[in-house]
């Protein structure tokens, strides 16, 4: 059974259809890459799934639940969480506090209990946050302020914040954009472990071909708001249409 | 962590001791100033709650007014004791706050500022327009001062202790809110709304909660004021009063819980010392506001941070900075 099912998804900005009838099906415990040249509609698709944009038509079903048209926070509560291209974190809080804060969706206490109650539950959240930080190999920086971390570590913290939601599926929006090769390796090393050790489905929306080829088992290529093809990395790399989309065809006439 | 946190308890004990001693050391008139100061203390701290989510409203004193009018109506019509009117006024103000914020939540920043002003004026005009039951432009008079057994709260000293107790309870609760997950969520959703949503924080709901909580405590301040003055006047809750509140907040800063309190203390001193220069006061306050906006946009709060960081750097970093340079 597929975990994330996208049917005939359309998003129009005025006359422009940025996403024009995309069908996509992602099954449980998969590492899926979504690639495409600049302006192909990757980011729009991403924002539609995460709820940051509203869909024009079509449906998005996650874990048997229709999530299109819901607020991003509600989609996160359903277990579908996204990361950002930028370094998204709460800069004035420490790494640990960041992850504890991001565990918002797991809080069971109501407002009155939170204000007046004893902090038994908070302790549990701290313990779990420490586990997540340990998993992401950030334990050495646990008490540093997020804004003082290096670029690569900030990106990893962004993923740790997403993990705090206890997601079933994590969508990574160009996670290595703007990182140098060392930092890129540091970040991408974690993707497979997310799936292998924590059974989290990973969807990687990425521009950097190399990262996608190295990490993903199955890749969907998008061009002009439509699904161009799907296949494993070798099939994709050798597909004529994909090469054309990225490099342009050589039989152009002027 | 197993040692009880004695530092805040000690601080609290000192504040209570000093607070209890004050009425015996000053004139009756000064006690009145302290009563007003403590009411303003509740008001200024309650304004910080929605301000931490980035929602600066221009209707906060109107919500205080809702508390004051509720108290006036409850105590005049139903003869309720002050121990009931104060919490009930808070609840009513909180409910009105929730209703007001429902449309306001769709706006942000400057839009929120102006829209909240319009809604606040709407409520204020209702008070002015309806002579019955709100008394029209003259407001309402003859609100009982309240009493506890045979102690009449018309006397400044008993009322001082009553207000002090209420203010302490309110401030402790507001401090707990600030330190709790909820307070941190308020700041977090302001620093990065997109990230907050992505980890499951329902931003509109939390903004509404912050506004409602602020309105609740503003209602308490209003109720205490109404009982002290024995009257409510719609002019007390107009934009001029609001500007004073904003000056306290801007001077104090909103980064920490203590910022608005520091701002209020400083401005209360300036306010009282400038009594001989009555007609110069708006100029003085305007000048202070501009000074802080230009030179200390983070308020006194920020100044304390900077000074502390400098001292810390000097203490620990003398050797380190040598190496660095």
Residue A172 and residue A161 in one domain: no
User: How confident is the model at residue B1, as a pLDDT?
Assistant: 42
Does A196 reside within a domain?
A: no
Indicate whether this model's pTM tops 0.80.
yes
User: How confident is the model at residue B250, as a pLDDT?
Assistant: 93
How near does any CA of chain B get to the CA of A241, in Å? Answer: 35
Task: Please determine, for residue B260, whether its predicted confidence score (pLDDT) is greater than 90.
Answer: yes
CB distance A26 to A203 below 8 Å: yes
Instruction: Give me chain B's average pLDDT, please.
Output: 90
Instruction: Judge: B195–A165 Cβ closer than 8 Å, yes or no.
Output: no
Does B265 reside within a domain?
A: no
CB distance B288 to B277 below 8 Å: no
- Better pLDDT: B314 or A8: A8
Residue A70 and residue A175 in one domain: yes
- With cut-offs at 50, 70 and 90, classify the pLDDT of residue B208: very high
Which residues in B lie closer than 8 A to residue A122 (C-beta atoms)?
Answer: 181
Q: Is A195 exposed, middle or buried (0-12, 13-18, 19+ CB in 10 A)?
A: middle
How near does any CA of chain A get to the CA of B163, in Å? Answer: 22
A44-58, A123-137, A232-246, B90-104: segment of lowest average pLDDT = A232-246
- Give the nearest partner residue to A92 out of B177, B191, B200, using CB atoms: B191
Domain count, chain B: 1
Q: Which helix (H) or strand (E) holds B151?
A: strand B151-152
Does B139 reside within a domain?
A: yes
User: How confident is the model at residue B324, as a pLDDT?
Assistant: 40
Task: Please determine, for residue A249, whether its predicted confidence score (pLDDT) is greater than 70.
Answer: no
pLDDT above 90 covers a percentage of chain A that reads: 47
CA dist A216 and B55 (Å) reads: 43
Does A64 reside within a domain?
A: yes
CB distance B204 to B112 below 8 Å: no
Q: Which domain holds residue B140?
A: 6-237
User: How confident is the model at residue B177, as a pLDDT?
Assistant: 93
Q: What is the ipTM of this complex?
A: 0.86
Asked if the C-beta of A246 comes within 8 angstroms of chain B's C-beta atoms, the answer is no
Tell me the β-bridge partners of B231.
Answer: B141
CA dist B218 and B211 (Å) reads: 10
Q: Which helix (H) or strand (E) holds B152?
A: strand B151-152
Asked if the C-beta of B182 comes within 8 angstroms of chain A's C-beta atoms, the answer is yes
- With cut-offs at 50, 70 and 90, classify the pLDDT of residue A112: confident
A80-84, A129-133, B153-157, B247-251: segment of lowest average pLDDT = B153-157
Asked if the C-beta of A77 comes within 8 angstroms of chain B's C-beta atoms, the answer is yes
Interval B171-194 mean pLDDT: 92
Task: Please determine, for residue A46, whether its predicted confidence score (pLDDT) is greater than 50.
Answer: yes
User: How confident is the model at residue A237, as a pLDDT?
Assistant: 84
Structure tokens at A4: 């994330």
Task: Please determine, for residue A172, whether its predicted confidence score (pLDDT) is greater than 50.
Answer: yes
Residue A75 and residue A172 in one domain: yes
Which residues in A lie closer than 8 A to residue B188 (C-beta atoms)?
Answer: 90, 93, 101
Q: Residues for chain A: how many in total? A: 254
Does B304 reside within a domain?
A: no
Residue A244 and residue A176 in one domain: yes
Does B71 reside within a domain?
A: yes
Task: Please determine, for residue A181, whether its predicted confidence score (pLDDT) is greater than 90.
Answer: no
- DSSP class of residue A94 equals B
Instruction: Judge: B191–A164 Cβ closer than 8 Å, yes or no.
Output: no
From start to end of chain A, where are the E strands?
Answer: 2-13, 16-27, 31-35, 57-62, 65-66, 80-82, 169-173, 201-205, 218-223, 226-231
Asked if the C-beta of B173 comes within 8 angstroms of chain A's C-beta atoms, the answer is yes
A30-44, B115-129, B167-181, B239-253: segment of lowest average pLDDT = A30-44
Task: Please determine, for residue A146, whether its predicted confidence score (pLDDT) is greater than 50.
Answer: yes
User: How confident is the model at residue A26, as a pLDDT?
Assistant: 92
Residues B179-190: tens digit of each pLDDT: 889 999 999 999
Could you tell me which of B234, B216, B86 has the C-alpha nearest to residue B153?
Answer: B86
CA dist A73 and A85 (Å) reads: 18
- With cut-offs at 50, 70 and 90, classify the pLDDT of residue B322: very low
- With cut-offs at 50, 70 and 90, classify the pLDDT of residue B161: very high
User: How confident is the model at residue A162, as a pLDDT?
Assistant: 94
CA dist B287 and A245 (Å) reads: 62
Look-up: residue for tokens 């001029």?
B240
Residues B220-231: tens digit of each pLDDT: 999 999 999 999
Which residues in A lie closer than 8 A to residue B182 (C-beta atoms)?
Answer: 111, 114-115
Does A192 reside within a domain?
A: no
Residue A55 and residue A70 in one domain: yes
Does A194 reside within a domain?
A: no
- DSSP class of residue A179 equals -
CA dist B203 and B196 (Å) reads: 7
- Give the nearest partner residue to B182 out of A71, A105, A115, using CB atoms: A115
Chain B, 197-216: which have a CB under 8 Å from a chain A CB? Answer: 197-203, 209
Does A234 reside within a domain?
A: yes
CB distance A242 to A33 below 8 Å: no
Task: Please determine, for residue B318, whether its predicted confidence score (pLDDT) is greater than 60.
Answer: no
Which residues in B lie closer than 8 A to residue A52 (C-beta atoms)?
Answer: 194, 197
**Cβ neighbours around A254 below 10 Å, total:** 2
Residue A251 and residue A172 in one domain: yes
CB distance B97 to B63 below 8 Å: yes
Q: Which domain holds residue A242?
A: 1-79+168-181+201-254
Q: State the DSSP string of B154-190.
A: TSHHHHHHHHHHHHHHHHHHHHHHHHSHHHHHHHHHH
Asked if the C-beta of A82 comes within 8 angstroms of chain B's C-beta atoms, the answer is yes
- Better pLDDT: A1 or A111: A111
For the beta sheet containing A16-27, the strands, ordered from the edge strand earlier in sequence to the opposite edge, are: A16-27, A2-13, A57-62, A65-66
Residue A63 and residue A175 in one domain: yes
Residue A115 and residue A236 in one domain: no
Does A14 reside within a domain?
A: yes
The alpha carbon of A9 is separated from its chain's Cα centroid by a whole number of angstroms, namely 18
Task: Please determine, for residue B149, whether its predicted confidence score (pLDDT) is greater than 50.
Answer: yes
CB distance B98 to B215 below 8 Å: yes
Interval A71-91 mean pLDDT: 91
Instruction: Judge: A77–B203 Cβ closer than 8 Å, yes or no.
Output: no
Interval B128-156 mean pLDDT: 88
Task: Please determine, for residue B95, whether its predicted confidence score (pLDDT) is greater than 70.
Answer: yes
Interval B46-69 mean pLDDT: 95
Instruction: Give the best residue of A84, A97, A115, A160 to mutate against chain B (max B CB count within 10 A).
Output: A115
Does B128 reside within a domain?
A: yes
Does A71 reside within a domain?
A: yes
Q: Where are the alpha helices (DSSP H) in A19-169?
A: 42-50, 72-78, 95-102, 111-116, 120-135, 151-163
Does B285 reside within a domain?
A: no
Does A186 reside within a domain?
A: no
Does B261 reside within a domain?
A: no
Q: Which residue of chain A is at minimal alpha-carbon distance from B188?
A: A90
Could you tell me which of B128, B48, B124, B83 has the C-alpha nearest to residue B220?
Answer: B83
Domain count, chain A: 2
Asked if the C-beta of A76 comes within 8 angstroms of chain B's C-beta atoms, the answer is yes
Residues B294-306: tens digit of each pLDDT: 999 888 988 888 8
Q: Which helix (H) or strand (E) holds B231?
A: strand B231-232
């Amino acid at each position: 059974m597929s975990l994330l099912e996208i049917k005939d998804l359309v998003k129009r900005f005025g006359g422009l259809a940025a996403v024009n009838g995309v069908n996509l099906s992602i099954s449980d415990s998969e590492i899926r890459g979504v690639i495409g040249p600049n302006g192909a509609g990757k980011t729009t698709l991403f924002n539609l799934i995460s709820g940051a944009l509203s869909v024009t038509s079509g449906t998005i079903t996650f874990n048997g639940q229709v999530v299109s048209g819901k607020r991003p926070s509600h989609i996160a509560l359903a277990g579908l969480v996204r990361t950002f291209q930028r370094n998204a974190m709460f800069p004035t809080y420490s790494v640990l506090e960041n992850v504890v804060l991001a565990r918002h969706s797991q809080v069971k206490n109501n407002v009155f209990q939170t204000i007046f109650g004893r902090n038994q539950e908070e302790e549990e959240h701290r313990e779990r946050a420490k586990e997540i930080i340990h998993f992401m190999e950030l334990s050495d920086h646990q008490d540093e302020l997020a804004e003082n971390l290096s670029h690569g570590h900030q990106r990893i913290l962004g993923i740790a914040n997403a993990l705090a939601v206890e997601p079933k599926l994590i969508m990574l929006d160009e996670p290595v954009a703007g990182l140098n090769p060392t930092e890129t390796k540091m970040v991408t090393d974690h993707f497979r472990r997310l799936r292998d050790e924590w059974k989290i489905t990973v969807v990687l929306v990425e521009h950097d071909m190399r990262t996608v080829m190295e990490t993903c088992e199955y890749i969907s290529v998008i061009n002009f708001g439509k699904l161009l093809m799907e296949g494993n990395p070798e099939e994709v790399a050798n597909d004529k249409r994909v090469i054309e989309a990225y490099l342009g065809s050589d039989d152009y006439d002027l | 962590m197993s040692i009880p946190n004695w530092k805040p308890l000690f601080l609290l004990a000192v504040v209570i001791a000093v607070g209890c001693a004050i009425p015996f050391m000053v004139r009756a008139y000064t006690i009145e100033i302290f009563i007003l100061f403590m009411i303003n203390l509740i008001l200024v701290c309650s304004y910080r709650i929605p301000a931490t989510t980035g929602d600066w409203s221009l209707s906060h004193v109107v919500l205080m007014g809702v508390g004051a009018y509720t108290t006036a109506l409850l105590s005049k019509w139903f003869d309720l004791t002050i121990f009931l009117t104060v919490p009930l006024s808070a609840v009513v103000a909180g409910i009105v706050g929730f209703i007001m914020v429902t449309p306001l939540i769709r706006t942000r920043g400057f839009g929120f500022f102006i829209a909240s002003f319009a809604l606040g004026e709407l409520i204020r005009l209702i008070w002015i327009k309806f002579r019955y039951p709100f008394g029209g432009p003259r407001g309402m008079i003859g609100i009982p001062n309240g009493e506890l057994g045979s102690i009449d709260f018309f006397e400044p000293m008993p009322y001082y202790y009553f207000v002090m107790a209420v203010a302490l309870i309110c401030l402790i609760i507001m401090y707990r809110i600030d330190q709790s997950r909820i307070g941190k969520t308020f700041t977090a959703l302001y620093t990065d709304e997109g990230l907050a949503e992505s980890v499951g924080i329902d931003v509109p709901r939390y903004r509404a909660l912050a506004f409602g909580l602020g309105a609740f405590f503003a209602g308490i301040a209003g109720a205490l004021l109404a009982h002290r003055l024995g009257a409510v006047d719609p002019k007390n809750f107009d934009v001029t009063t609001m500007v004073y509140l904003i000056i306290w907040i801007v001077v104090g800063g909103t980064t920490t819980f203590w910022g608005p309190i520091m701002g209020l203390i400083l401005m209360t001193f300036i306010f009282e010392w400038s009594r001989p220069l009555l007609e110069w006061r708006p100029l003085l306050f305007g000048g202070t506001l501009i000074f802080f906006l230009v030179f200390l946009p983070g308020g006194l709060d920020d100044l304390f941070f900077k000074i502390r960081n400098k001292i810390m750097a000097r203490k620990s970093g003398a050797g380190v900075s040598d190496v660095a340079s």
